[in-house]
Structure 1
């Protein structure tokens, strides 16, 4: 217990009548495109953020107009799997109600931008018609569960997808608010609504903060498992058969500039569970956080802080008690990389899969470039498989029959979807940032491609153009594109200014450190040029860029005190 007052959002959740608030009334209020401040918090639980077009703020202010409000809508798609019919529905919503583009996110799902308030219900109803929803894609709940991207690759990948899907379904909020508000569902009549009836897992105040779950199959760490609150690592025997899962807890990317009490952190390996206990383990970790997490300070409310406050041993004992079986000792595993594997592949069942590079996840028809949106729409119209979003903002056209493969190949060529990007560009990610994200301090998605071009020129000059180097950028320190786990990371500090981080492990097991603070492109390129040149001349065989900058002493020059060992936390870049 604590004498500190609860954070404001706690009271808001309690008074919301299980996430209803006044959302229904606000959607019908025609005088404004906005909703109330309280409802802006509640609508996140329904998978949406109210945003505005920041490029238009000054002009609209001069004209005494309200901001150009619209919703960002995020879909809940566990494992990132969609049918062709669902893809076509998303495409139609984007063109009819959104800004004409779709965005693949770093959480294996879609985002739609530019949906005005008066089109929000129609958008959700279109999603519902193809069995998609947005509930719990945002908010203080278990959010979209990510899994190893292609379950057709092996039996272990299929098991990873099934676990992720089961976790997502089991940990969904049970309130009827979503159906009532967005789908004209019947309101609950008669009887008393209590937390044990409506939300038997969450209760009326849900979780202290957001909660992110991922499932990985070594050696590929495509989900960046150490960046998340809860993770499951597949443990296989010598025959490739699933023996169980290592459970990880306490990862998280968010921090606040200037506040040393906030920091990114890699997850700890909590222990090992057999397959039959995995779902209960997920529930147990979530309910421990529900009961132990800080509800007085939202900046201290993520699982990573609860793990550090209580200690890993206490977590291990309590999670085991709630499962009903003690966790076993962690089993050995090895990750080699975090990226996707592009191009064509064939799985054990003989089906074909094509992984396409989508720069920063933006699906649109580019002037003078690939017609990505039209091309993928045409593919969806003929596809006999499905689409799979990856956690690196790319898409896999999966499960294609031998008969359909030539037609898919033809459409890929016709619309310019063939991957011609450099290894550096293929390993780069950016968050949306400006103009829609209200938290953005600097550009990200709109700027990173040109910065990557400058990197490519430097790499070409030093003869390392084919080197795999992970580069990520965010417009603010919240870390949506996981920049603190990039070999070269950029975090927005202000217009045209970034903090530069170096040294995160290529396989996602080590955080980066702050190298330069509050710098623009000239300083960034001037700093990286000689380091890349030194790397080209003096790297060891098989050595990744991030390992080189540590061995060569570039990181030590910053004087940061954070250690580099994975799973020992806290790991704190300098403020």
Structure 2
């Protein structure tokens, strides 16, 4: 029997529901529960401030409802003018500045219901959109932009943008609600269709990412459709395609798990859109619509098998995929500082802790980036590691950019430890309704304690991938970290260890449901062993496997360079 949400989608009139009526209701700051599910397709989640939820309940007040809004920004690329528009939105309507997500886009928190339409309209006025940033559709298409170094990189980004536009929902509801578009009536309304998704869209969200070797800075194996750009003699000749990646899981439910994508072959650029449509179509038709926890493509692939799923894809395509091409990944982090690209242009990558852009005593990110956007003649890019790139800078403008960055103290990466430079945290409390423990707010204090341990062992500069997640759903991709904390309850986490530095191996649960004292004690001992027994250039996760702290993983993704 289809899940309750499947009925909501089927009866929604292509994502309309009663959203319009709910937005017009001034008695409450909320909308109907069924409409919150549909609102995700429009790029927004209804949330409330969990820090004050109990107090408001005692005062017999409804929760402090507000909305999170997320942009669809393929490849995380924007103009300085767009940055200024997004900054203005944060100042005018949001509660906590700009936040870079792990899918190369912005999200804004704390937007009141009365301001939601104006906020979405402002994003569209800036030549961006929020449709399909959330929901059971293909979401923001991510792409290696760290940084553009060749014409082939530009071609890969162009494909990300093209996929994003081609695969977005076709319903007119978005324009009706947010952009004062003309409402469909009569025969036109009756004939409105979603040619790819159908009236119930996908069983769950769907994610596409493009990585450009040797950098795996998007964690391509975590994508439903993983595309690895193959560049030969400076030309983008096609993509190795992988299926079935995904990070989400549920505590205590072994039927849910993170999974890495399996590479099934090579596709030429002219067939890429057909492949994406076909994989989405297979998931639309084969995916589990009864149990949402089991509805991602990774479970479909495991239910039917990789070979059977590949065969169905090829059958629908009408041709067989070519054998996968050779490639190699070096690492999956960002490279900070200046990097020279092609055509004499330069790119500056800056670290933004947890992706949170605010003006504080430590950093004046909002003011600094506002000033920069007024003078910058290139573009600005977001990374999947919550950082940003001042891209396409002329050589003669570097000194000006450096002075501005230093004045606003946005150059912290120069002084950061190795583990701090490679840390990610999801939002978690107080706004995320799924959070079981702190993440973003816990990261600063945890880092200080970990740095104390690492410094004592002479490891302060050792690059170590650290990721925090307030729940097991995996927005911060914790299962691909050398050290990960996955929230269980307030102050308690699963400690997971042992992913690699290329994003090609999942970590393993090492301690479950433990508090900070246990976590620090365990890591202190392991850091001590790592300092004394590691090989030259050996990463922490690889060391843990080599010395037997962790067992060899049962499954690694297909790597055609092996």
Specify if TM > 0.5: yes
Q: Is the 8 A contact 1:103 1:362 kept in 2?
A: yes
Q: Is the 8 A contact 2:156 2:236 kept in 1?
A: no
The offset of 1:83, in angstroms, is 0.9
Corresponding residue of 2:158: 162
Corresponding residue of 2:379: 386
Are 1:416 and 2:409 an aligned pair?
yes
Q: Distance in 2 between matches of 1:442 and 1:154?
A: 42
Q: Distance in 2 between matches of 1:466 and 1:150?
A: 22
The offset of 1:149, in angstroms, is 1.4
Are 1:337 and 2:331 an aligned pair?
yes
Q: Distance in 2 between matches of 1:564 and 1:310?
A: 18
Q: Distance in 1 between matches of 2:170 and 2:247?
A: 28
Give CA deviations for 1:491-534 in whole Å, capped at 9, x if unaligned: 00000000000011110101011000111111101000111110
Q: Is the 8 A contact 1:358 1:394 kept in 2?
A: yes
Residue 191 of structure 1 aligns to a residue whose secondary structure is helix
Are 1:534 and 2:525 an aligned pair?
no
Corresponding residue of 1:322: 316
Q: Is the 8 A contact 1:271 1:316 kept in 2?
A: no
Q: Distance in 2 between matches of 1:161 and 1:562?
A: 33
Give CA deviations for 1:40-66 in whole Å, capped at 9, x if unaligned: 100000000000011111221121111
Q: Distance in 2 between matches of 1:435 and 1:535?
A: 36
The offset of 1:404, in angstroms, is 3.0
Q: Is the 8 A contact 1:151 1:160 kept in 2?
A: no
Give CA deviations for 1:169-226 in whole Å, capped at 9, x if unaligned: 110000000110111111012324467x521111111000000000000110001011
Residue 319 of structure 1 aligns to a residue whose secondary structure is helix
Give CA deviations for 1:57-87 in whole Å, capped at 9, x if unaligned: 1221121111100000000000001111111
The offset of 1:562, in angstroms, is 5.3
Show the 5 A alignment for 1:151-550. Answer: 152-193=148-189, 197-237=192-232, 239-366=233-360, 368-418=361-411, 419=413, 420-550=415-545
Q: Distance in 1 between matches of 2:295 and 2:452?
A: 43
Corresponding residue of 1:573: none
Q: Is the 8 A contact 2:147 2:391 kept in 1?
A: no
Q: Is the 8 A contact 1:150 1:157 kept in 2?
A: no
The offset of 1:456, in angstroms, is 1.1
Corresponding residue of 1:565: 556
Residue 90 of structure 1 aligns to a residue whose secondary structure is helix
Q: Distance in 2 between matches of 1:274 and 1:125?
A: 37
Q: Is the 8 A contact 2:143 2:157 kept in 1?
A: yes
* TM-score normalised by the chain length of structure 1: 0.95
Q: Distance in 2 between matches of 1:377 and 1:165?
A: 25
Give CA deviations for 1:250-287 in whole Å, capped at 9, x if unaligned: 00110100001101011100111112111111111111
Q: Is the 8 A contact 2:147 2:339 kept in 1?
A: no
Q: Distance in 2 between matches of 1:245 and 1:564?
A: 23
Q: Is the 8 A contact 1:253 1:484 kept in 2?
A: yes
Corresponding residue of 1:553: 548
The offset of 1:156, in angstroms, is 2.3
Are 1:86 and 2:79 an aligned pair?
no
RMSD: 1.3
Corresponding residue of 1:68: 64
Q: Is the 8 A contact 1:81 1:389 kept in 2?
A: yes
Residue 424 of structure 1 aligns to a residue whose secondary structure is helix
Q: Distance in 2 between matches of 1:194 and 1:552?
A: 65
Corresponding residue of 2:114: 118
Matching residue within 4, 11, 17 for 1:21: 17
The offset of 1:138, in angstroms, is 0.2
Q: Is the 8 A contact 1:483 1:491 kept in 2?
A: yes
Residue 221 of structure 2 aligns to a residue whose secondary structure is helix
Q: Distance in 2 between matches of 1:404 and 1:235?
A: 33
The offset of 1:16, in angstroms, is 0.3
Uncovered stretches (5+) of structure 2, i.e. residues with no partner: none
Corresponding residue of 1:58: 54
Q: Distance in 1 between matches of 2:402 and 2:21?
A: 49
Q: Distance in 2 between matches of 1:484 and 1:307?
A: 19
Q: Is the 8 A contact 1:98 1:115 kept in 2?
A: yes
Q: Is the 8 A contact 2:244 2:259 kept in 1?
A: yes
Residue 55 of structure 1 aligns to a residue whose secondary structure is coil
Residue 472 of structure 1 aligns to a residue whose secondary structure is strand
Q: Distance in 2 between matches of 1:7 and 1:320?
A: 29
Task: State the number of aligned residues.
Answer: 557
* TM-score normalised by the chain length of structure 2: 0.97
| Pair 1:282–1:364, CA change in 2 (3 A) | same
Which sits farther off after the overlay, 481-490 or 92-101? 92-101
The offset of 1:567, in angstroms, is 4.3
